[in-house]
Structure 1
Amino acid sequence: MSTVTVYGSTGMVGSAITAEAASRGFTVTGVTRGNPDHVKNPVPGVTYVTGDIADTGDVVEKARATDIIVFSVPGPRDGSSVQPIIDAHSRIVAAFAGAKITARIFIVGGAGATRTPDGTMLKDTPDFPAAYKAEAESFARILELWQGSARDLDWTMLAPAPQIAPGEPTESYNLGDDQPAGDFVTAGTFARAAVDELEKPAHRRARFTVANA
């Protein structure tokens, strides 16, 4: 079975992806910025290591040592600058191209960069929550970075429904392309769709969306 390295493995979405991948027999390494010995509720069988998405050299080394690398690191929601997360992805895109990384790259995106039927990004609609605007702006830019990346980089981005919360996976789910596939998704359903994509790639070099059925 393939090896998977998950950045953000202790967050709401990242921990769900980590658990789902481990449950299906993937060999999973969870990356955390804190002490790996102090991870709360570690997933059995997962090896936790220290790492930061901003440390480009270390990201490259981890990508060289795995079959799939997952970035589940959200943007800011506290009014701080969106630039650090954008810069981190910009450096990774450039470094992966230079290093000719062959690992599959899976990015957890944001719903704010998905579009309404008339093509408007959700982040630019009148009712979009101000608290999530900075994160939405950052992932709109991050999507552009990956879309413009070297053609030999095998990336996929999955964006959630506009509302996402902790919860178990549903029996089925809806998928979309640029438009939201529904109004709500649980972290468990998101993780199930993510690992389904890792097992059977269907959205190479593309962004897609998921919602509870």
Structure 2
Amino acid sequence: MRILLIGATGMVGRRIAGEARDRGHEVTGVTRSGNEGTAGAEAADAAAIARLAEGHDAVVLSVPPPRDGSETEGPLLEVTRGVLDALRRSGVRRLVVVGGAGSLEVAPGVRLVDTPEFPAVYKSEALAAAAQLGVIRAEAGDLDWTFISPAAVIAPGERTGAFRLGGDRLLADADGASRISAEDYAVALVDELEKGNAVRRRITVAY
């Protein structure tokens, strides 16, 4: 499989690239800077991303909202809509998005981001990712998309290959902890690229 990976040098992106290449897939990395052997392009530039996507089987979008204190939602939605436009221009139908956990439900109609315990420092970012999911659900019905939310906590760790998949509900272990390593998140994402079990759906992955 030929995969265009936008955001290939981030914490999650570089692990997706490694997992996919270890399985024999061809990965074209894209970053704003073009460093580390990646192609340089702005993720919101539909024409540039379309040119890079041509001939690929799938696009993976692994770009978080801005984390510099500036507005989060507008730039993330601009990137998202740019990538959707790029897929249509290039003829690539498959899109997998590295999403956020804040929009996962902890009770019927209650999102994680709306709970009193949710850290205020991450709230703007989580709301932007929730808005991204809304845009994809509303505007990408002609594409074969999957939005993959991690557990509440995702960090570098061990690749175990042992985890659970869910839907719109936050997954937690017996102690109430919701976590996943970035390595196992990458395993789940590449699994979905290969198998296509969750097309036009949001899924989540956790221990």
- TM-score of the two chains, using structure 1 as the length reference: 0.88
**1:6 touches 1:31 (CA, 8 Å); kept in 2?**
yes
- Structure 1 residue ranges without an equivalent (≥5): 40-46
- Structure 2 residue ranges without an equivalent (≥5): 173-177
With over 3 angstroms needed to count, the CA separation of the structure-2 counterparts of 1:195 and 1:58, relative to structure 1, is same
Give me the whole-angstrom Cα distance separating, in 1, the residues matched to 2:189 and 2:143: 18
* Aligned-partner SS, 2:102: helix
Work out whether 1:201 is the aligned partner of 2:192. Answer: no
Pairing 1:126-165 to 2, within 5 Å after superposition: 126-165=116-155
**1:5 touches 1:66 (CA, 8 Å); kept in 2?**
yes
Work out whether 1:32 is the aligned partner of 2:27. Answer: no
With over 3 angstroms needed to count, the CA separation of the structure-2 counterparts of 1:151 and 1:118, relative to structure 1, is closer
User: Match for residue 210 of structure 1?
Assistant: 205
**1:78 touches 1:131 (CA, 8 Å); kept in 2?**
no
User: Match for residue 184 of structure 1?
Assistant: 179
Give the count of matched residue pairs. 201
User: Match for residue 5 of structure 1?
Assistant: 4
Give me the whole-angstrom Cα distance separating, in 2, the residues matched to 1:139 and 1:121: 12
**1:184 touches 1:211 (CA, 8 Å); kept in 2?**
yes
User: Match for residue 76 of structure 1?
Assistant: 66
**Percent identical residues:** 41
Amino acid in the other structure paired with 1:211: A
Work out whether 1:91 is the aligned partner of 2:76. Answer: no
Give me the whole-angstrom Cα distance separating, in 1, the residues matched to 2:193 and 2:83: 20
Give me the whole-angstrom Cα distance separating, in 2, the residues matched to 1:94 and 1:70: 14
With over 3 angstroms needed to count, the CA separation of the structure-2 counterparts of 1:60 and 1:100, relative to structure 1, is closer
1:66-114 deviation line (CA, Å, top 9, x unaligned): 11110001113343101111122123334544x3733310100000111
